[in-house]
Structures are given as structure tokens and as C-alpha cells.
Structure 1
Amino acid sequence: MRKVKIERKTKEVEIKLVLSLKGKGNCKIDTGVGFLNHLLSSFSLHGRFDLEVKARGDIEVDVHHTNEDIGICLGRAFFEALGDKRGIKRFSHSFICMDETLTRCVVDLGGRPFFKIKPKNIRVYKATYSFLHFKQFWKAFTDNAKIALHLDILEGEDLHHILEASTKAIALALKEAIKKEDSILPTTKAKFD
């Protein structure tokens, strides 16, 4: 596992991201979207990933482009940082409760992108960051990290708590799944796609 730098520039966004999976949870996050900064800081801390994100996007239009493109960059960085995945645990899960909220995350780092969240929609919105934005971020992440991630929101009323607890559950599941157990490649296919 290594430190990875990703840069992405489109007409809508400019992103510089640095990720180290073997970190201490240090972060420097500036996305222009306050709540996304909060979620990424939580992801970094609870996963013990060192993460730097500097993003400028067309947030005067909407947070969609900035949000999704950061998910793309973080996913690519995660994929590259894992290398050939030799010796990693590969599978993991976590449960997180935060006040009234309870979430479960299950991951497989086996090279096949998949993202599923239950329930599919929560009709509560924050001022600038919705449940839909959250889903789009993690879909972009899983597609580019080439991992399968199932997220179940078992209980919850406050959207802030739901999104934060879900992010922490994802971070903890990934932290466990990347742990080195031995030197064996955890697949019968002899390589990951």
C-alpha cells in the first residue's frame, strides 16, 4: 500500500487528492462543500487514512459535479494504493450507531464494482447536501475503487446522523478489509481484474 496522488480537471471541477491507506487519520479537506468536508474528515479519521483534498467546482450551480468527481478521484486513489492486494483480508463489515441511527456496511475488495444502499431514498434534505448526493458519491467511489459495497441504514431520523454514521461504517469496514493477514492473494482466480 502506498501514497497515491490523483488530479482531475474538467470544465466543471479541478481536484487534487492525496491518499495514504497506512496513515493516522490526518486530513486536510477543502471541497467548497461544508458537509462533504465533514464526511471526508470523518472517513479519514475512522479509517485511519491520511487524506488531502483540494477541490474547486461549479458549486454555484450545484454540488453534484464536485461531489461525484471527488468520489471518482478517491476511488481511483484507493484502487491504486491497494496495489495487487496480496495478503489483504479482502472482506469485512461494520456496524455503527450514532444516537438514533444504526448503519451496517459490508465490503468486498475483489475487483468487481457494485454499490447498493437500503433504503433507496430518504426524503430529508440538508441545505446543500442530499441523500442523493451521498449515493452518487459512494457509487462513483465504488466504481473507481472496483469494490462491492452494501450499505444498510437500519435506523435513523436525522439525515446528518444517517450520512455521518454511514460514512464511519464504510471507513471502518475498509480499514479492516485492507489489513494484511499474510502474503496470499485472496482469490482463486490468481489475479484481480
Structure 2
Amino acid sequence: MTQTARTGSVERKTAETSIAIAVNLDGTGAYEVSTGIGFLDHMVEQFSKHSLIDVTMKVEGDLHVDQHHTTEDSAIALGQALANALGDKAGIGRYGSAYSPMDETLSRVALDISGRPYLVWKAGFSQEKLGEWDTELIEHWFHSVSQSAGLTLHCELLYGTNNHHICESLFKGFARAMRIAVERDPRKGGAIPSTKGQLGG
């Protein structure tokens, strides 16, 4: 039986940002990312590489104001593209979790592609910026993705001191958890993984 491609794309234009995003859930982790914020580019690239979800992301935002709109809107559009690619979510694993060590840092990410967006965030940073990216926006990025993709998402820093390692560990953990959750389970036979017969709503 031929399976349909699981791809999604979003174009989002406002007075604050212009965004074009495309994803392929069954990719190889190929990416082309340009947001105008170097460290955010690096984190989205890490997400793509370790989830094996191909991501093309082009963002032009009002960075002369600050980084908030670019961070938020790109995360919203990415979540929407992921939701589009998932469709009715038939046959997916649905749940995913990962421990992600990076040197002295260890984080844990668990998620459910439930259609019921919710973020639990237990992490923090001891400096205001990573590169030029405001660290207060990192939690907001995860919140925006969880809302628009319909994810119940738990992100927890277990321990760590280096801010770069903390952020990268969380993004890689998110990527690994998503890889598990979006994969098709052949034992499910294409069934939607819920006793309700649908996810969300």
C-alpha cells in the first residue's frame, strides 16, 4: 500500500513578519533556515537534524524593533506546518520522550500529539542572551510551537550550568521526542491512536 507524503507548508504575512515554511515528516533532517537571528537558526537546524523532519524556513521580521515577533511568529508557523503534515494523525506513535545529555547538562522532554496544547516549562537561563537571541524568548518559542501544533509538551532541565548547552539540549530533546511521536507504527494499521477515534476537540 502506497502511503501519502506527510508534508505541510505555511505562508504567513503580517505587518510584523513575512514567513514561508515547509516541512516533511518523512525526511532525512535536511534544512534550510534563515530567520535573521543566528542562534534561533542554529536551534531550528538542530531540531530538523535530530527529528529527521526536513525544514525549510525563511523569515523576514521587524528585528529593528526586537526579536519577539520573529521568534513567536516563526514558531507559530512551524507548528502550523507540522499540524498540516500530520493531518488526522492516523497511524502515528503519538507519544515521544527523550533524555538529552550535552556535556554537564541533562534535559528531559516528553510530548503527546494530543491536539490539546499545553506547555510545562521547568528550565531557565543565567544570562540574557545566547548570541544575539534573548533567552527569555526560548520558553516563548516552545509555547508557541506547542499551541499551534497541538502538542502537550513538557520540557525540564534536570541539571546543567552552560546556557548554550541547556538550550541545545532542550531543542535536541524536543527533536528526538518528535521523531518518535510522528513515526508511523505499522501495528496500528493506520488507526488514529485514541479511543475517541480522533485527536483534539
Same fold (TM over 0.5): yes
Structure 2 contact 7–85 (Cα < 8 Å) conserved: yes
| 2:56 aligned partner | 52
Instruction: Give the 5 Å matches for 1:63-142.
Output: 63-119=67-123, 121-126=124-129, 127-142=131-146
Q: Distance in 1 between matches of 2:45 and 2:74?
A: 13
Give the TM-score normalised by the residue count of structure 2. 0.92
Q: Distance in 2 between matches of 1:34 and 1:143?
A: 24
| 1:190 aligned partner | 197
Structure 1 contact 107–148 (Cα < 8 Å) conserved: yes
Q: Distance in 1 between matches of 2:6 and 2:193?
A: 19
Secondary structure of residue in 2 paired with 1:116:
strand
Structure 1 contact 107–150 (Cα < 8 Å) conserved: yes
Q: Does 1:171 align with 2:175?
A: yes
State the Cα distance separating 1:125 from its structure 2 match.
Answer: 2.2
Structure 1 contact 3–20 (Cα < 8 Å) conserved: yes
State the Cα distance separating 1:156 from its structure 2 match.
Answer: 1.3
Q: RMSD of aligned C-alpha atoms?
A: 1.1
User: What 5-or-longer segments of structure 1 have no aligned partner?
Assistant: none
Q: Distance in 1 between matches of 2:154 and 2:134?
A: 19
Structure 2 contact 9–84 (Cα < 8 Å) conserved: no
State the Cα distance separating 1:130 from its structure 2 match.
Answer: 2.8
| 1:26 aligned partner | 30
Q: Does 1:145 align with 2:141?
A: no
Q: Distance in 2 between matches of 1:152 and 1:184?
A: 31
Select which of 152, 156, 161 maps to 1:157. 161
State the Cα distance separating 1:132 from its structure 2 match.
Answer: 1.6
Runs of 4+ in 1 over 4 A off after TM superposition: none
| 1:11 aligned partner | 15
Q: For each residue in 1:89-121, what CA deviation from the matched residue of structure 2 results, as whole angstroms up to 9, or x when unmatched?
A: 1111100100111000000011100011103x4
Q: Distance in 2 between matches of 1:92 and 1:7?
A: 28
Q: Distance in 2 between matches of 1:153 and 1:18?
A: 30
